[in-house]
């Protein structure tokens, strides 16, 4: 088994390094052979440079397309006839990164680059979305983590591609976790719509706190679901807010006043409602508490855990 990596930039270079240090035979292909040779020497695997993209694909069983979406289309056209039967790994994200590190989406909201790339491939290609859910720097610093390995998610509809990518993820120093089929690719992409509108990849934080904010969210279910996806396995989300009180008519007047003054959504929840929102967002409740601040203000707090990995693809 050999794995070709096309595009030896930040991500391709990191994947190549981690696979090679795990013992995988890798073949590197860049926009020129000179660049591929230079990258191979820098990574410490001289002799692994291909003549060109076609040579790399011909010599490999698996192909990682570590490219931005525009060159991705050109490269797929260039090697299309060689791809049927091979496992193609797509780490691309539908984003453009500005000099200050902020990014904007390059595809319409809800469309994943995984689905787009899969649609460009010839029939018979074994497609899998993987290695793109975290920044290259995080990939490098978390590989072969001890005592517990970090996980990497993947999405595929192809059983052989799943087996092969699981092997590659392990070789690169991570534990593989399936996130569902290609239609769920958006969940494992940076800039996907599953991150509560926040600029972080899934599976990033051990602890997220959301205090005195839920009442101002127009779509609390989407927010909680997005925050859940940002939690690393075993991570926890703490949510706290003031509670809705009775009588209902008096509280409705208060909320109208709050919406007028703050200009926000202004809709407070009881603990029961907050719990239901969390459960609806795929989180499970670890503990919860109501508390009294004074005669008017009552509050609640709860701690919820990340979705179980097997639920992510459901
Ligand atoms: N960087 C990250 O942290 C990260 C994390 C997750 C996912 N990703 C995804 O990985 C992909 C690549 O990102 P990157 O940051 O690695 O970009 P990058 O550093 O710009 O690397 C892209 C590489 O593609 C090469 N390339 C362009 N056209 C080519 C062609 N026709 N044949 C062979 N190679 C070609 C470029 O070579 P030249 O410079 O010679 O043109 C460059 O080395 C993107 O889709 C991105 O969303 C990146």
Tens digits of residue pLDDT in 217-253: 888 888 898 898 888 888 999 999 999 999 999 999 9
Question: What confidence score (pLDDT) does residue 52 get?
Answer: 98
Domain boundaries, the chain: 3-188, 205-312
| CB contact at 8 A, 306 and 283 | yes
Question: Would you say the CB of residue 93 lies under 6 angstroms from ligand 1?
Answer: yes
Ligand 1 near 12 CB (within 6 A): yes
* Nearest Cα residue to atom 43 of ligand 1: 9
Number of H helices, E strands in the chain: 11, 13
CA 32 to ligand 1: nearest atom: 40
Q: What is the pLDDT of residue 164?
A: 98
Mean pLDDT confidence for 183-194: 75
Work out whether the CA dihedral 9, 37, 165, 172 comes out positive or negative: negative
Q: State pLDDT tens for residues 40-98.
A: 999 999 999 999 999 999 999 999 999 999 999 999 999 999 999 999 999 999 988 88
User: Distance from the CA of 128 to the center of ligand 1, in angstroms?
Assistant: 18
- For the chain, percent of residues with pLDDT exceeding 90: 62
Ligand 1 contact via 6 beta carbon (within 6 Å): yes
* Cα 92 to ligand 1 centroid, rounded to whole Å: 9
Distance CA 228, CA 195 (A): 8
Distance set, CA 194 to CA 78, 83, 178, 198, 263 (Å): 33, 30, 16, 9, 26
Ligand 1 centroid vs 12 CA: distance in angstroms?
7
Task: Output the residue whose Cα is nearest ligand 1's atom 24.
Answer: 7
Ligand 1 probe mutation, 8, 10, 154, most atoms within 8 A of CB: 10
Return the residue whose CA atom lies nearest to atom 19 of ligand 1.
9
Fold of 3-188: Rossmann fold (3.40.50)
| pLDDT grade for 312, boundaries at 50, 70 and 90 | very low
Question: What is the per-residue pLDDT for 182?
Answer: 94
Q: Is the pLDDT of residue 287 over 80?
A: yes
68 lines ligand 1 (CB under 6 A): yes
Q: What is the mean pLDDT of residues 120-134?
A: 95
Atom of ligand 1 nearest to the CA of 94: 47
Give me the mean pLDDT over the 35-44 stretch: 96
Quote the ligand 1 centre to 125 CA distance (angstroms): 21
- Closest ligand 1 atom to 133 CA: 6
- Ligand 1 atom with the smallest distance to the CA of 74 is 31
Residue 142's nearest CA partner among 93, 168, 179, 175 is: 175
**How many other C-beta atoms can be found within 10 angstroms of the C-beta atom of residue 289?**
11
Query: If one looks up domain 205-312 in CATH, what number appears?
Result: 3.40.50.150
Instruction: Give this prediction's pTM.
Output: 0.75
First and final CA of the chain: distance in angstroms?
31
Query: Quick count: other Cβ atoms within 10 Å of Cβ 96?
Result: 13
The answer to whether the 3-188 and 205-312 domains have the same CATH topology is yes
Tokens of 75: 């490269």
- What does the alpha-carbon distance between residue 143 and residue 140 come to, in Å, rounded to a whole number? 6
Residue 303 phi, psi (nearest 5): -120, 125
- Residue 95 CA: which ligand 1 atom is closest? 47
Residue 195: its pLDDT value, please?
Answer: 67
């Amino acid at each position: 088994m050999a794995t070709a990596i096309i595009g030896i930039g930040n991500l391709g270079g990191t994947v190549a390094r981690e696979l090679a240090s795990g013992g995988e035979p890798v073949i590197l292909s860049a926009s020129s052979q000179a660049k591929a040779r230079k990258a191979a020497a820098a990574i410490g695997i001289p002799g692994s440079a291909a003549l060109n993209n076609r040579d790399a694909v011909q010599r490999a069983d698996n192909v990682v397309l570590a490219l931005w979406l525009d060159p991705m289309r050109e490269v797929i056209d260039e090697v299309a006839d060689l791809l049927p039967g091979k496992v193609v790994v797509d780490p691309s994200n539908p984003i453009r990164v500005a000099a200050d590190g902020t990014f904007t989406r390059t595809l319409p909201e809800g469309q994943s680059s995984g689905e787009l790339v899969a649609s460009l491939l010839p029939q018979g290609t074994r497609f899998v979305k993987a290695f793109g859910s975290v920044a290259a720097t995080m990939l490098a610093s978390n590989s072969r983590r001890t005592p517990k390995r970090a996980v990497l998610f993947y999405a595929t509809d192809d059983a052989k591609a799943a087996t092969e990518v699981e092997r590659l993820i392990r070789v690169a120093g991570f534990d593989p976790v399936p996130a569902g089929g290609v239609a769920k690719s958006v969940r494992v992409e940076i800039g996907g719509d599953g991150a509560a509108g926040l600029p972080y990849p899934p599976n990033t934080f051990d602890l997220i706190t959301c205090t005195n904010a839920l009442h101002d969210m127009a779509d609390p279910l989407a927010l909680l679901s997005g925050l859940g996806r940002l939690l690393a396995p075993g991570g926890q989300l703490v949510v706290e807010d003031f509670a809705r009180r009775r009588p209902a008519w008096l509280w409705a007047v208060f909320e109208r006043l709050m919406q007028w003054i703050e200009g926000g959504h202004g809709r407070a929840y009881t603990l029961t409602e907050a719990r239901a929102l969390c459960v609806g967002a795929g989180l499970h409740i670890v503990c919860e508490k109501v508390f009294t601040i004074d005669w008017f203000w009552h509050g609640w707090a709860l701690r919820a855990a990340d979705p179980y990995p097997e639920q992510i693809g459901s």
